[in-house]
Chains A and B, each alone.
Chain A
Amino acid sequence: MESHIQIKHLNVQYGNSPALRDVNLEIPRNQITVIMGPSGCGKTTLLKSLNRFLELEETTKIQGKVIVDGQNIYGKDIDVTEVRKTIGLLAQRPYPLPMSIYDNVAHGLRLHHLKKGRKEIDDAVQHYLEHAGLWDEVKNRLHDPATSLSIGQQQRLCLARGLAVEPEIILGDEPTSALDPISSQHIEKKLMELKSDYTIVIVTHILRQAKRLADYVVFMYLGEVVEAGPAQQIFENPKKDRTKGYLAGQF
């Protein structure tokens, strides 16, 4: 297993209450890592430490290192916009930008000067919409407002928007929790396809979804990592009692 992200001695506090305690983890490249645990255990905090979203809240204190491809993303000479470009986020509820379907995808391309000229941008927009499995549904109404799409379509649009800035890692914060079962299936299927090109980290509280998606599992409880390992090992042969209890539905 080749690791893509290494987390070393990560401690996070919101004001005075600790949210993560001494987290040490290696997240494998080109696999789906699922972070599980009961609510309030720090899953989302851990996820948002990976794209430096924690610092949006001014009272947050962060210590430790998150190393991606040999660079500590919390290092002094790191550009936070590059971090977030490299590490995309699929949020809990889809939030398209207040512009057309086309511009939602093109916006990131223009922002980072990834494509130039009408033709190149047109092609890239089509490419990423196809990649997210949305192209056929929107190709005749690319200039409609993004809000004219259903919630499930919006989430795929957000996926296309994220892919367009050429990330290496995709984070998902319960990315199907606002969606209906069919749309959820769509997203899950896409994530399975995408893992050959991207490293994917997902937070979920749905055990069955975790079992369907996970190659690697991180189980958390009260701000600490209880157990982490390949999915098969964690689901079939957990070593810690807390993990066993959680899998058995005790909390």
Chain B
Amino acid sequence: MSMKKRWQRRHVTEAFFKGIMFLSIALVVFSLGYILWTILRKGLPAMSWAMITQTPKGGYYLGKEGGILNAIVGSLYMALGGTLIAVVFGLPIALYLETYLKNSRWGYYVRLSLDVLWGIPSIVYGAFGFTLMLAIGLRSSLLGGIIVLALLELPIMVRAIDEVIRQMPKDLQEAALAIGSTKLEVALHVVIRQMMPGIVSAILLAFGRGIGDAASVLFTAGYTDRIPTSLMNPAASLPLAIFFQLSTPFKEVQNRAYAAALVLTIIVLIVSFGSRWLSSRLSKYSIK
């Protein structure tokens, strides 16, 4: 019998689908590369030390002096604050889901609610948050932005941590139960330790969504050229800085929008690599 390759239909099918898969991947890589290239090409020339160390001076939006320090600081405050609050509420929710509700009917309802919340456009969060703030007499402020970002990030974070914790080896949980741990002790001492790298990634995912979102903070945090000194001050943010500068008719100011996008991208990259490094250190004890 000859073992020579004959071009049968199954081989053609394989080659065809392999080609499609390769094209899809190429498209993704190309898009990312093109975005980065655009940001770099247009943003880098507009980039300067002043951009990241100064707040906008008079005439900044006409192309004169100043920078976007107000937006950098505002975005960091809001995204870090929002992520912190989301972790404080989200981690217990995820642990409760996985430890006690599991695949019960209530677990199903909670996950469904979170998935729906995940899908809600961020402008709706913004409008909802703004309505709430009006009702309690809170004006556009750093605090408002932090709270709305926390709400926006919460479902993403919980579902992502939930999916991570589901990968927890059952035998490992049983090993901890076998020495007389309560379920809570298993969750706190064993599950969190074992799953720390995945939990860190989930938190990062939520942070990325938070820091990149413009619509939710538009009404709730407002925009200002000053750096907020109190939770009750309005706060600027990078996505809105990009939006406002891009919508001016001046070329220099538009290019500054790309510089702002570059700053945002670099912040996300730093946080991303930082957390990778952190989680690889934390996974030293993980059971493979």
Interface-lining segment among B55-63, B128-136, B178-186: B178-186
Q: Is the CB of B171 within 8 A of A53?
A: no
In B143-195, the 8 Å CB interface with A consists of 169, 171-172, 174-182, 185, 189-190, 193-194
Contacts of A91 in B (CB 8 A): 171, 174-175, 178
Tell me, rounded to whole Å, the shortest Cβ–Cβ distance linking B50 to chain A.
48
**Which of A99, A111, A146, A147 lies in contact with B179, CB distance below 8 A?**
A111
Tell me, rounded to whole Å, the shortest Cβ–Cβ distance linking B48 to chain A.
47
In A78-114, the 8 Å CB interface with B consists of 81-85, 88-89, 91, 93, 95-100, 107-108, 111-112
Residue with the highest number of chain A CB atoms closer than 10 Å, among B169, B174, B185:
B174
Contacts A96-B287, A145-B284 given; does A51 touch B193 at CB 8 Å: no
Of chain B, the residue at the smallest CB distance from A171 is B178
Residue with the highest number of chain A CB atoms closer than 10 Å, among B182, B189, B287:
B287
Contact of B22 with A by CB under 8 A:
no
Q: Is the CB of B177 within 8 A of A53?
A: yes
Q: Is the CB of A165 within 8 A of B172?
A: no
Q: Is the CB of A147 within 8 A of B178?
A: no
Q: Is the CB of A97 within 8 A of B190?
A: yes
Contacts of B181 in A (CB 8 A): 81, 111
Q: Is the CB of A84 within 8 A of B288?
A: no
Distance, CA A231 to CA B229, complexed state (A): 80
Distance, CA A43 to CA B183, complexed state (A): 26
B-side interface residues, number (CB < 8 Å): 23
Contacts of B284 in A (CB 8 A): 145
Q: Is the CB of A88 within 8 A of B287?
A: no
In A141-181, the 8 Å CB interface with B consists of 145-147, 158, 161-162, 164-165
Contact of A182 with B by CB under 8 A:
no
Contact of A56 with B by CB under 8 A:
yes
Of chain B, the residue at the smallest CB distance from A161 is B179
Tell me, rounded to whole Å, the shortest Cβ–Cβ distance linking A203 to chain B.
15
Per DSSP, are chain B's interface residues mostly helix, strand or loop, or mixed?
helix
Tell me, rounded to whole Å, the shortest Cβ–Cβ distance linking A144 to chain B.
9
1/0 per residue, CB under 8 A from B, across A186-209: the answer is: 000000000000000000000000
Contacts of A95 in B (CB 8 A): 169, 171-172, 174-175, 287
Q: Is the CB of B178 within 8 A of A162?
A: yes
Contact of B285 with A by CB under 8 A:
yes
Contact of B53 with A by CB under 8 A:
no
Contacts A145-B285, A146-B285, A147-B287 given; does A98 touch B179 at CB 8 Å: no
**Which of B172, B178, B180 lies in contact with A98, CB distance below 8 A?**
B172
Of chain A, the residue at the smallest CB distance from B102 is A58
Contacts A53-B174, A91-B171, A91-B174 given; does A84 touch B180 at CB 8 Å: yes
1/0 per residue, CB under 8 A from B, across A54-84: the answer is: 0010100000000000000000000001111
Contacts of A83 in B (CB 8 A): 180
Q: Is the CB of A165 within 8 A of B179?
A: yes
Q: Is the CB of A56 within 8 A of B178?
A: no
**Which of B102, B171, B179, B286 lies in contact with A107, CB distance below 8 A?**
B179
**Which of A93, A96, A99, A111 lies in contact with B185, CB distance below 8 A?**
A111
Contacts of A58 in B (CB 8 A): 102
In B191-228, the 8 Å CB interface with A consists of 193-194
Q: Is the CB of B171 within 8 A of A98?
A: no
Of chain B, the residue at the smallest CB distance from A90 is B178
Contacts of A98 in B (CB 8 A): 172, 190, 193-194, 285-287
Contacts of B190 in A (CB 8 A): 97-98
Q: Is the CB of A84 within 8 A of B179?
A: yes
Distance, CA A166 to CA B22, complexed state (A): 58
Of chain A, the residue at the smallest CB distance from B182 is A81
Of chain A, the residue at the smallest CB distance from B172 is A95
Q: Is the CB of A51 within 8 A of B285?
A: no
Q: Is the CB of A84 within 8 A of B189?
A: no
**Which of B180, B185, B286 lies in contact with A85, CB distance below 8 A?**
B180
Given contacts A82-B180, A164-B179, 8 further A-B contacts (CB under 8 A): A53-B177, A83-B180, A99-B285, A107-B179, A108-B179, A147-B286, A158-B175, A165-B179
- 23 of the cross-chain contacts (CB-CB < 8 Å) are A51-B178, A53-B178, A56-B174, A84-B177, A84-B179, A93-B171, A95-B172, A95-B175, A96-B175, A96-B287, A98-B172, A98-B190, A99-B285, A108-B179, A111-B179, A111-B181, A112-B180, A145-B284, A145-B285, A146-B285, A147-B287, A162-B179, A165-B179
